[in-house]
A and B are shown apart, each in its own frame.
Chain A
């Protein structure tokens, strides 16, 4: 089972607000969690990745993983109109046999930051 659920939005917030984006998943084997940003008709751009549970901060972005709840979040502080994009969560399990596992993506949340 490799399902990842993500509210597609759109999510519209005023400039400067704190944005919270979330994903839930069902496969307890997932250990690596990523957030990508995708502009219309462009490739996904890696924003953050975390391993297992915990928090990771990078500038205005904070990623949180709660493996016990199978829930991950991305927070954007001081949101800017240039943050308007679709945000995709993605996950991966590393199997004991190694190899390059495929990422399982959420459908993406369309975020609009109003000036």
Chain B
């Protein structure tokens, strides 16, 4: 069964460092998303991406975040200068049409120290 794949599963980084989280969406999907979940809190929408551009972003997705689809299969989230409060699980998701049936990856646990 097709699935969304995320790497790495866990990343530890020092505050102020840049991190790139990687995702391979399901191959025939057209819409891509990043969400995050701080421990014990709700899953929160960060950004959606369609047709090689950002479709919508939340207030959380400020200038330190960026997304890219560098080739036909990968979808990345970059955090330029990590802060302690960026520590969370980051989930990539994809859907054929808009997020009514979005399939999530297993997540990358980001720990900022």
Pairwise interchain contact B98-A43, C-beta atoms closer than 8 A: no
Binding-face segment, B14-22, B65-73, B74-82, B105-113: B105-113
**Does A44 touch B at the CB level, under 8 Å?**
yes
Q: Does A32 contact B (CB under 8 A)?
A: yes
Contacts of B50 in A (CB 8 A): 99-100
In the complex with contacts A42-B107, A44-B104, A101-B98, A106-B42 CB distance below 8 A:
yes
**Cα–Cα, bound, A90→B42 (Å):** 10
CB contacts between A and B, total, < 8 Å: 75
Contact A43 B104 (CB under 8 A): yes
Closest chain A CB from B84 CB (angstroms) = 20
Interface size of A in residues (CB-CB distance below 8 Å): 26
Which of B33, B55, B99 has its CB near the most chain A CB atoms (within 10 A)?
B99
Whether B99 and A100, one on each chain, are in contact in the complex, defined by CB atoms closer than 8 angstroms, is yes
Interface residues of B in 31-73 (CB under 8 A from A): 31, 33, 35, 41-50, 55-56, 58
Specify the main secondary structure of chain B where it touches its partner.
strand
A43 and B33 contacting across the interface, CB-CB below 8 Å:
no
* In the complex, chain A residues whose CB is within 8 Å of the CB of B89: 41
For the complex, give the distance between the alpha carbons of A94 and B107 in Å.
Answer: 26
- Indicate if B101 sits at the interface (CB-CB under 8 A): yes
Task: Tell me the A residues contacting B by CB distance below 8 Å.
Answer: 32, 34, 36, 41-46, 49, 51, 88, 90, 92, 94, 98-108
Apart from A43-B105, A105-B44, what are 16 other A-B pairs with CB-CB below 8 Å?
A32-B100, A42-B107, A43-B91, A45-B104, A46-B101, A51-B100, A100-B99, A101-B98, A102-B35, A102-B45, A102-B47, A102-B58, A103-B43, A103-B45, A103-B102, A108-B42
Q: Report B's interface with A, CB cutoff 8 A.
A: 4, 31, 33, 35, 41-50, 55-56, 58, 89, 91, 95, 98-107, 109
